[in-house]
Structure 1
Amino acid sequence: MSGMPLTQLLREPRLRMIFLLGICSGFPWVLIGSAMTGWLTDAGLSRTSIGLFGSIFFVYAINFLWAPLVDGFQLPVFRRLGDRKSWIVFLLLVMTLACWGISQISPQASMVWLSILAMTIALASATCDIAIDGFRVDSFDPEAEEALIPYAAAFATSGWWTGYSLLGAAAFYMKGLSSMDWADVFFYLAMFCLFITALVMVLVERDNRRREKLESRVAGLSLRAQLQFTLIEPFRALLRRYGSTIVLLLLSFLFTFKMGEAFLGRMSITFYKEIGFTDAQIATYSKMVTWWVTIVFSLIGAYFNQKLGIFRGLLIGGLAMAGTNLLFAWIAVTGPLESLYLFAVIADGFTSAFATVVLVSFVTLLTDRVFSATQYALLASIANFGRTTVSGASGYVVDYLNGDWATFFVLTTLMVLPSLVILWWLIRLLQARNFLSRD
């Protein structure tokens, strides 16, 4: 399976659906991430304010709290679409309406309403991610199809970056047109959100396999017992299987692994604008180039994930991801050199894709297929906590350094080191208890 050619992978319908759902997962980060940051920067908000505005991403860090509801219940009106698909379609429609609402206001006129609508998108997107991740995890048997799991992670990563980078580039290209302002851009982004909802309706299959397993587990239980089982059993099962020490180390590793990348990513658009790059350059290099690099290296990362194994893959990915942050410190010193910008974007895209694929594969292998959405949401939300919530302080750090971007990027490089120490300890325990091979 590890030698499966790309043409055969592309013919696998489950991987194509995972790619489309990856787009659905990445696209909202344009709405409340890069495009919103560009709008707020142009509107004259401070770096600290922009960083704090981005704290709405904290909902991705706590979505495990309501993940049992997505795992355990179906939406009454949409349930005929299937277990996961019903949630995905409904939440995409919510995001469409909220994005359209943003297009009707401006930061100068009403930051309150802008914040409310952005929070609505964040909540809908974080909940949608629960269903999307559950769909991906449910799609493959961890024993019979383990070799396909890294490729599922690669297609999900490629889809996410397609939604984030390609559509993010489109947003900045549109803004670069003299006839458009950011409100116009958000209107067209809302129309795309509606279009992608229609694609999900048509192309994603109805899925109820996990639902049947779950219902067999709760058959005969009272309504109260079913509710308790739905809310508590996913977390209890995780602790029962691995033990408190491994779970604590796992959560600590996930929290710290991408912290440095999160701090860099939160302030990247502001950095590019302040250092002197244009909207068109940002769209070309930070979005379009990153998109292609991520797609190519996600697939390469899936292949090497199988060859290297989980431990070596995470270790190499973490070190490489941290090292590429120093390239941005170099840009901060030299100024807006396009050649260096291109090199930094390619290197960062490669290391980020590689690290993401191996991390998603790692978490997928650790989840119980009956409680896939809840357990994956718990583990992913811890990783997102650093990436979405703590990184809200990134603007404050830059301001504290008086705009010393070079020092800021050196600090983001050092942030990954604690996670690698935790990883070494965690892998040793998992191998000792036969949860992972020693390859």
Structure 2
Amino acid sequence: MSASTDPTQESRLSLIESIKLLKDIRLWRILVLGFASGYPWIIIGGSTLSIWLREEGFSRTNIGLLGIVFTAYTINFLWAPMLDAVKFKWLSGIGQRRSWILVCQIALVLLTLSMAVCGPSLNIIAFALMAVGVGFFSATQDLAIDAYRITIIRPDEKELIPFGAAMATSGWWLGFGIPAAFLLYLSDMMAWNYVYGVAALMIVPVAILVLYWFEEPDVPPGSVSREWYTTVVVEYVETIKDFFGRHGALIALSLLLFIFLFKIGEAFLGRMVGVFYTEVGYTKTEIATFSKLISTTITIVFAFCAGALMPRLGVFKMLFIAGIAMAITNLMFAWIAMTGPDLTLFLAAVVTDGITSSVSTVAFVAFITYYVSHLHAAGQYGALASLGNAGRTLLAGFSGLLVDQLGGDWALFFVLTSVAVAPALIVLLLIAVSMR
């Protein structure tokens, strides 16, 4: 590994110098793209869909199993190299990265409107297929967004990577948290079908910004023009060869194992948290205010703090601290399960969860970014992010089944999710030691 991409090397920028980096307009474009990345999770995940399904009479097991719609986030590495290779000729004027983003956003608008028209009670199979489509285009959009974020920052601008990760994280939570709270408020005033119609239209302003305000990143050195079908085949091979060649087999395999394990405990929490809140006794208004507005605000603030502090602490220390914090946060939810709907405890839990989510995500995104080549940005980041999402989607899809098997014992469920963090931290320590 070259020194310039070693995440254990700490920057010597002062805190003030780090904050001054925020003047770079590219970081604010990354913020908007983070919003676009987080927003589809409202449509097929989080509290909105789970509460809608619960109100329609679906069981916790069925709600948890509907997490299969997130499978695309786990397997999008299969088509990730195509985003580095394939160009839309009819959108060539806006560039490769932006054209992929725009196509995905158009598809998301149409599919969300279709979900609004259909609804789960009318035809659950058709509804689920539309949700799968949202997951597919959202996962593909993420590939294009991550490739844009990575390539818009030059390899010699290492100091911008933590803030790029912070902006991506803040934007994601802006897209996931604030609109989710708004839609939950709306659900108290209108049917969920109309709420999802509003949700579809909220994607349009972001697409307009991508079309008219964004600039296309420079083409990375080493890019070769070929026929698209030849390029795709070569891209698959070169993406893997480059990653293992630059890092070595042992470090590369250790990185893959850590990335798979790190977010599993948090994913089990996230899949069922909306159901948990309602079953404990919180109202939808309280859920919107505490778990969306307050938690999102905390997450955004501390994402910037994490971006500013990471160059001083180093990414390994940040990841280890975040892992410990994730375990503690899940134990706080176990406390709520034992005591009931106490608003003070709810506030403490969502504040802690917001801090933990921001620090862990910023560190995790920066960690992966450090190991990705600009030339194969979509393919390599897509593969690593897919691996990280594997635990969050495939395993966490059984979270509802686990709660049912535990007899609805939410406290024990959250204790188990806390313990799930430990294997990832052990692997992280081994990676840190091997890189000394």
TM-score by length of 2: 0.94
Which amino acid in the other structure matches residue 322 of structure 2? G
Deviations 1:30-50 (Å, cap 9, x if unpaired)? 000122112111111000000
Query: Quick check: 129-138 or 245-254, which moved more?
Result: 245-254
Post-superposition offset of 1:29: 0.1
Q: Summarize the alignment of residues 191-206 of structure 1 with structure 2, pairs less than 5 Å apart.
A: 191-206=201-216
SS at match of 1:104: helix
Which amino acid in the other structure matches residue 208 of structure 2? A
In structure 2, the residue matched to 1:338 is 343
In structure 2, the residue matched to 1:436 is none
Which amino acid in the other structure matches residue 391 of structure 2? G
Runs of 4 or more above 6 Å deviation: 221-224
- Give the direction of change, closer, same or farther, for the CA distance of 1:298–1:421 in structure 2 (3 Å limit): same
- Give the direction of change, closer, same or farther, for the CA distance of 1:235–1:3 in structure 2 (3 Å limit): same
Q: Summarize the alignment of residues 135-150 of structure 1 with structure 2, pairs less than 5 Å apart.
A: 135-142=148-155, 144-150=156-162
SS at match of 2:90: coil
Whole-angstrom distance in 1 between the partners of 2:138 and 2:359: 24
Query: Quick check: 386-395 or 407-416, which moved more?
Result: 386-395
Whole-angstrom distance in 1 between the partners of 2:19 and 2:319: 27
Which amino acid in the other structure matches residue 50 of structure 1? I
Post-superposition offset of 1:154: 0.4
1:153 aligned residue (165, 190, 196):
165
Please say if residues 78 and 87 of structure 1, whose CA atoms lie closer than 8 Å, have aligned partners that are also in contact. no
Which amino acid in the other structure matches residue 413 of structure 2? F
In structure 2, the residue matched to 1:102 is 115
- Give the direction of change, closer, same or farther, for the CA distance of 1:240–1:324 in structure 2 (3 Å limit): same
In structure 2, the residue matched to 1:93 is 106
1:328 aligned residue (325, 333, 345):
333
Post-superposition offset of 1:76: 2.3
2:288 aligned residue (272, 275, 283):
283
Query: Quick check: 243-252 or 180-189, which moved more?
Result: 243-252
Deviations 1:256-291 (Å, cap 9, x if unpaired)? 111000000000000001111111111101110111
In structure 1, the residue matched to 2:23 is 11
* Structure 1 alignment gaps of length 5 or more: 433-439
1:33 aligned residue (31, 34, 45):
45
Aligned residues: 423
Task: Tell me whether 1:416 sits opposite 2:416 in the alignment.
Answer: no
Query: Quick check: 304-313 or 285-294, which moved more?
Result: 304-313
Whole-angstrom distance in 2 between the partners of 1:18 and 1:91: 17
Whole-angstrom distance in 2 between the partners of 1:2 and 1:96: 43
Q: Summarize the alignment of residues 228-267 of structure 1 with structure 2, pairs less than 5 Å apart.
A: 228-267=233-272
Q: Summarize the alignment of residues 292-303 of structure 1 with structure 2, pairs less than 5 Å apart.
A: 292-303=297-308
Which amino acid in the other structure matches residue 166 of structure 2? A
Deviations 1:332-355 (Å, cap 9, x if unpaired)? 011001111011000011011101
SS at match of 1:315: helix
* Structure 2 alignment gaps of length 5 or more: 1-12
Identity among equivalent pairs (%):
40
Please say if residues 49 and 395 of structure 1, whose CA atoms lie closer than 8 Å, have aligned partners that are also in contact. yes
Post-superposition offset of 1:206: 2.5
In structure 1, the residue matched to 2:4 is none
Please say if residues 236 and 379 of structure 2, whose CA atoms lie closer than 8 Å, have aligned partners that are also in contact. no
In structure 2, the residue matched to 1:189 is 199
In structure 2, the residue matched to 1:175 is 187
Please say if residues 151 and 217 of structure 2, whose CA atoms lie closer than 8 Å, have aligned partners that are also in contact. no
In structure 2, the residue matched to 1:125 is 138
In structure 2, the residue matched to 1:56 is 69
Please say if residues 86 and 228 of structure 2, whose CA atoms lie closer than 8 Å, have aligned partners that are also in contact. no
SS at match of 1:209: coil
Query: Quick check: 400-409 or 145-154, which moved more?
Result: 145-154
In structure 1, the residue matched to 2:411 is 406
Please say if residues 2 and 147 of structure 1, whose CA atoms lie closer than 8 Å, have aligned partners that are also in contact. no
Which amino acid in the other structure matches residue 161 of structure 2? I
In structure 1, the residue matched to 2:273 is 268
TM-score by length of 1: 0.93
SS at match of 1:78: helix
RMSD: 1.5
Please say if residues 2 and 306 of structure 1, whose CA atoms lie closer than 8 Å, have aligned partners that are also in contact. no
Deviations 1:120-160 (Å, cap 9, x if unpaired)? 11000000000100111112223x32111101100100000
In structure 1, the residue matched to 2:5 is none
